[in-house]
Structure 1
Amino acid sequence: MIKLKKAPAHPGQILKEEFLDELGITQTNLANSLGTTFRTTTEIVNEKRSISTEIAIKLSKFFGTIVELWLNLQNQFDI
């Protein structure tokens, strides 16, 4: 029997569940902190927008992660 791999999660799902929910940060607060619009943040969290390099840099600075985390999550989802 062939085992099917589970599709990777959208980076917006990871952002919401592992960062925003865990740390009690609202999408509005995140948008303000990143200097982006609420719409941009909401579209990422709702899996309607990809994480660009610019957003990955801002997320990494805000959360203290490496840029590659966000870029790799997006790349894995895109494949």
Structure 2
Amino acid sequence: MPPGCRASCCWWSASRILNVDPASTMQVVDALVRADKDFELLVVPNGEHTVGRSTGPVAYGQRREYDFFLRALGGAR
């Protein structure tokens, strides 16, 4: 891992994913909190499985992903 780089987690969740119960997402979030891990959670209302990539607010999703990687890798905004 490059100097100054730390492991980061950006978790996306959409409210209309049919194969994952929202309670399962909250169980993962609870485990991360209990383990004192830093993470970002982005919930997209009415989003589906490909939200932010090929459906839903694509430009918003791309911007948030880009900003996350810049912060995680220590790049300039």
Q: Common fold, TM-score beyond 0.5?
A: no
- Greater helix fraction, Structure 1 or Structure 2: 1
**TM-score, length basis structure 1:** 0.28
**TM-score, length basis structure 2:** 0.28
